[in-house]
Amino acid sequence: MIYLLITLVDSEYHSLFKSIAIFLISFFSNTFSAISGGGAGLLQLPALILSGVPYYQALASHKLATVALGIGGSLRNYKSLRNDICVAWQILIFGLPGVIYGTSIVEYISEKYLYLFLGLISILLAFYSFFKSDLGLISNDTKLNLIKKIRFLIFIFLIGFLNGSISSGTGLLVTILLIKTFDMDFLRAISLTFFTVGIFWNFIGAIYLSKIGTVPPNILIILIVGSFTGGYLGAHLSKIKGNIIIKKFFTSVCLLVGISLFVKSIRSFL
């Protein structure tokens, strides 16, 4: 009897400690993600897997939680979205089919090749952002010709596919694509990324992934609270600090995400 009581108490303390740890990881990773424009999966997704949640359930939980991140970030920066509704529709119309396709075949593709590809892309983005000093610091309204518009829509579909299959780092890709294509600044591009990718892409992806397995409700609630509060705080800090700080966070998170995915890919080949 005493042994059972001690075991029960230890189990409750362990559960409480794990819940607090998951909340803190979710809060801080989503705060940094809201400032940099992506990368919440760098800490949040591995933390779920290490806590014993199967990969597909962890990915679905992560996506549902980042919907809260997108809502938190969008609420703080909703005024930045008014002039970019047309671009938002393009991201949704051409990106969502990619997300659905990515989630539908995630069980049948080798993750290690996607990790390697996305890891290398993220590292290159970090160096590109670092060496291009004026990137994303000034916002202009750029009109696209037909060729550039088609290229943008193809890239959006491909990033949507990556979002549906591996998730990590795809928000960073959309952010940099918006900056390069439409000559946006970081704050404007990140606001649009959170509204489209954070809310709609991740919600649809989570719905399709949840069909593979049930999402643990206790962990999901903790993640949603951590993601929403972290997203709101990060969006608030980014608006106060401006594009220079956002760019530094973007570059750092790109490098960390890239190295993390690259190492994960290399380990899977061994």
Distance CA 27, CA 33 (A): 10
Report pLDDT for 10. Answer: 39
Instruction: Return the pLDDT at 3.
Output: 35
CB atoms within 10 A of CB 133: 8
pLDDT digits (tens, 9 = 90+) for 172-207: 889 889 988 988 888 888 888 888 988 898 888 878
Q: Take residue 236 and report the two structure tokens written for it.
A: 């608030």
Parts of the chain with a pLDDT under 70: 1-14, 37-39, 41-43, 49-52, 54-56, 76-80, 106-107, 109-111, 167-168, 211-216
Domain, as residue range, for 87: 2-269
User: Contact at 8 Å (CB) between 254 and 33?
Assistant: no
Give pLDDT, residue 159: 92
Count of domains in the chain? 1
Instruction: Say what the pLDDT of residue 45 is.
Output: 73
pLDDT at 237: 78
**pLDDT at res. 96:** 93
Residue 4: its pLDDT value, please? 33
Strands (E), the chain: none
pLDDT score for 7: 38
Q: How far apart are CA 237 and CA 186, in angstroms?
A: 13
Query: Cβ distance 143 to 85 under 8 Å?
Result: no
Give me the pLDDT at residue 110, please: 67
Who's near 148: CB < 8 A, 6+ residues apart?
181
User: According to the model, what pLDDT value does residue 249 have?
Assistant: 78
